[in-house]
């Protein structure tokens, strides 16, 4: 069996040589027999000899994890957003699309696609270099991979965005830390508006974030009280925590996993410690982030639109029938609705009329997206825009910009 020193010795390459190894592995991403004998695969720390035949699969998974880490923002090529960088690399090497198809999907030139892919490959090599070389070969790679695995699992977390009352969410999360607060003689004071405050989020993930935040505040407080205050306006909904502490402000209230979950829900958190004792934390739920609701019985359209809007600060929600779409529109108050016409049960024309006739939704822009080329009827029933299927990325973006959504 190879020792760690032997494995590390395999990576005495220049950075140019290492980059060529990375490109070589990417170009053979789906060829497991080839990956089986790649130097990266030979360096994997395998204690189970019976698993020797899976080295190619292990390397394939490792490459996939590294590509997903490109979205972390830790390494960034000039002019290239982390989300687009990751998307480009996945489309090219995991989904095996041609550069021509990628440039069409992302609405960029082929020259730009080639240039961005080159930056992505260099950034990926930086991650793999840290795993295999800078951190001492196999052992360092395993440590980095653990962090990458956390990022990967959170990125692949199945979130179910729905209308959630933040008031109820706060009280539910605070009930989970009641015994802890009682044990430490800390009173949690909750100040929320009398009316419901609705946001679009995943209630389960959101509750875990709040529990972690409340628990950390109670444990770090050196006073008898932690004050929670919810504020909501047309532009922003935020939760503030106030308490005194004698602990260093550098420690923070959140562990790495919770911080990534906050990013996953597109929330923002700011911490400010004044005079070394007064601690204020504000968690913004991003109500001012544009939300686009897609009502279409074909789920592929919502997935396509999420890809089209990659890089824009925009949340895309989906409903697969007219009734649930109407319910979501009334509860969430999206910034725009993209609506199909041909759906079973309640068709798009009826959905459009109901949206326009209901006081809670009558002013929401509705973009009809249909194979039926009848824009005159769409506009007569109150549509803001009409797009023919198959819809192109530039048409969607143009329509949303026209409605001041993007």
pLDDT digits over 116-146, tens only? 888 888 888 888 887 776 544 433 334 444 4
Look up tokens 């950075």; give the residue.
Answer: 15
Give the per-residue pLDDT at 72: 57
pTM of the model: 0.46
Cα 3 from Cα 172, distance rounded (Å): 52
DSSP state, 352? H
Q: Identify which of 61, 71, 59 has the alpha carbon closest to the alpha carbon of residue 24.
A: 59
Is the pLDDT at 272 greater than 90, yes or no? Answer: no
Q: Identify which of 192, 345, 324 has the alpha carbon closest to the alpha carbon of residue 337.
A: 324
Give the per-residue pLDDT at 252: 65
Give the per-residue pLDDT at 136: 45
Over residues 148-165, the pLDDT tens digits come to 445 545 555 667 767 678
Give the per-residue pLDDT at 399: 92
Q: Identify which of 9, 241, 16 has the alpha carbon closest to the alpha carbon of residue 121.
A: 16
Cis peptide before 390 (omega within 30 of 0): yes
Give the per-residue pLDDT at 8: 39
Please, are residues 179 and 215 in contact by the beta-carbon 8 Å criterion? no
Q: What is the mean pLDDT of residues 243-268?
A: 74
Cα 299 from Cα 190, distance rounded (Å): 40
Is the pLDDT at 106 greater than 70, yes or no? Answer: yes
Look up tokens 């308490």; give the residue.
Answer: 243
Is the pLDDT at 170 greater than 50, yes or no? Answer: yes
Give the per-residue pLDDT at 358: 92
Please, are residues 275 and 297 in contact by the beta-carbon 8 Å criterion? no
Task: Name the more confident of 335 and 253.
Answer: 335
Please, are residues 106 and 87 in contact by the beta-carbon 8 Å criterion? yes
Give the per-residue pLDDT at 10: 44
Give the per-residue pLDDT at 138: 35
Is the pLDDT at 311 greater than 90, yes or no? Answer: no
Look up tokens 């000899």; give the residue.
Answer: 49
Find all residues with CB under 8 Å of 2, minimum gap 6, and list them.
Answer: 42, 43
Give the per-residue pLDDT at 236: 79
Q: What is the mean pLDDT of residues 274-295?
A: 77
Is the pLDDT at 82 greater than 80, yes or no? Answer: no
> What structural domains and CATH numbers belong to the chain?
4-155 (no CATH), 162-284 (3.30.565.10), 291-402 (3.40.50.2300)
Let me know if 12 is exposed, middle or buried by CB neighbors in 10 A (0-12, 13-18, 19+): exposed
Nearest 5°: CA angle at 13, between 7 and 15? Answer: 125
Over residues 27-71, the pLDDT tens digits come to 888 887 778 778 888 766 544 443 445 678 888 888 888 888 876
Rg of the Cα atoms in the chain: 25
Please, are residues 361 and 393 in contact by the beta-carbon 8 Å criterion? no
Is the pLDDT at 307 greater than 90, yes or no? Answer: no
Least confident of 146-155, 180-189, 234-243: 146-155
The model's confidence at residue 180, banded by pLDDT at 50, 70 and 90, is very high
The model's confidence at residue 350, banded by pLDDT at 50, 70 and 90, is very high
Average pLDDT in the chain: 79
Q: How many CA atoms lie within 13 A of 238 on its CB side?
A: 15
Query: Which strands, in side-by-side order, build the sheet including 187-191?
Result: 187-191, 225-232, 237-244, 278-284, 268-274
Q: Count helices and strands (H / E) in the chain.
A: 18, 12
Task: Name the more confident of 199 and 324.
Answer: 324
Find all residues with CB under 8 Å of 392, minimum gap 6, and list them.
Answer: none
Q: What is the share, in percent, of the chain residues with pLDDT greater than 90?
A: 25
Exposed e or buried b per residue across 345-374, where buried means at least 16 C-beta atoms within 10 angstroms of its C-beta: ebebbebbebbeeeeebeebbbbbbbebee
Using CA atoms in the order 248, 255, 84, 399, what is the torsion angle rounded to 10 degrees? -90
Please, are residues 345 and 323 in contact by the beta-carbon 8 Å criterion? yes
Task: Name the more confident of 167 and 288.
Answer: 167
Exposed e or buried b per residue across 299-318, where buried means at least 16 C-beta atoms within 10 angstroms of its C-beta: eebbebbeebbbebebbbbb
Give the per-residue pLDDT at 3: 40
Q: What is the mean pLDDT of residues 304-321?
A: 79
Q: What is the mean pLDDT of residues 232-239?
A: 81
Find all residues with CB under 8 Å of 61, minimum gap 6, and list them.
Answer: none
Least confident of 96-105, 178-187, 301-310: 301-310
Q: Are strands 162-165 and 198-201 parallel, antiparallel or unpaired?
A: antiparallel
Cα 56 from Cα 152, distance rounded (Å): 19
The DSSP line for 240-294 is: EEEEE--S-GGG-S--HHHHHHHHHTT-EEEEEEETTTEEEEEEE--TTS-EEEE
Please, are residues 318 and 269 in contact by the beta-carbon 8 Å criterion? no
Please, are residues 372 and 392 in contact by the beta-carbon 8 Å criterion? no
3-state secondary structure of 366: strand
Over residues 352-383, the pLDDT tens digits come to 999 999 998 999 999 999 888 899 999 999 99
């Amino acid at each position: 069996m190879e020792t760690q020193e032997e494995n590390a010795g395999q990576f005495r390459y220049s950075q140019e040589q290492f980059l060529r190894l990375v490109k070589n592995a990417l170009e053979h991403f789906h060829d497991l027999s080839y990956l089986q004998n790649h130097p990266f695969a030979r360096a994997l720390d395998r204690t189970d000899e019976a698993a020797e035949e899976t080295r190619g699969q292990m390397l394939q998974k490792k490459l996939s994890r590294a590509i997903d880490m490109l979205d972390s923002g830790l390494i960034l090529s000039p002019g290239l957003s982390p989300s687009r960088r990751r998307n480009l690399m996945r489309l090219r090497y995991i989904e095996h699309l041609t550069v021509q198809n990628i440039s069409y999907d992302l609405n960029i030139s082929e020259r730009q696609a080639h240039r961005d892919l080159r930056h992505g490959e260099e950034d990926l090599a930086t991650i793999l270099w840290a795993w295999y070389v800078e951190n001492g070969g196999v052992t360092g790679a395993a440590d980095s991979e653990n962090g990458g695995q956390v990022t990967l699992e959170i990125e692949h977390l199945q979130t179910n965005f729905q209308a959630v009352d933040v008031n109820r969410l706060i009280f539910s999360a605070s009930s989970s830390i009641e015994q802890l607060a009682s044990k430490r003689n800390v009173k949690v004071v909750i100040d929320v508006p009398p009316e419901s405050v609705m946001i679009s989020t995943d209630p389960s993930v959101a509750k875990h974030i709040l529990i972690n935040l409340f628990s950390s505040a109670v444990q770090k407080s050196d006073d008898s009280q932690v004050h929670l205050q919810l504020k909501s306006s047309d532009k922003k909904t935020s939760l503030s925590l106030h308490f005194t502490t004698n602990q260093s402000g550098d420690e923070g209230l959140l562990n790495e996993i919770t911080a990534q979950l906050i990013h996953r829900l597109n929330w923002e958190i700011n911490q400010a410690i004044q005079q070394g004792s007064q601690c204020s934390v504000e968690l913004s739920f991003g109500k001012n982030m544009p939300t686009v609701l897609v009502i279409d019985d074909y789920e592929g359209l919502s997935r396509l639109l999420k890809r089209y809007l990659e890089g824009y600060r925009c949340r895309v929600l989906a409903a697969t029938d007219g009734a649930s779409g109407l319910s979501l529109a009334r509860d969430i108050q999206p910034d725009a609705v993209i609506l199909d016409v041909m759906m079973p049960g309640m068709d798009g024309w009826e959905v459009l009329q109901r949206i326009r006739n209901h006081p809670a939704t009558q002013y929401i822009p509705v973009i009809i997206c249909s194979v039926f080329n009848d824009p005159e009827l769409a506009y007569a029933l109150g549509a803001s825009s009409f797009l023919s299927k198959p819809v192109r990325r530039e048409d969607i973006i143009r329509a949303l910009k026209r409605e001041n959504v993007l």
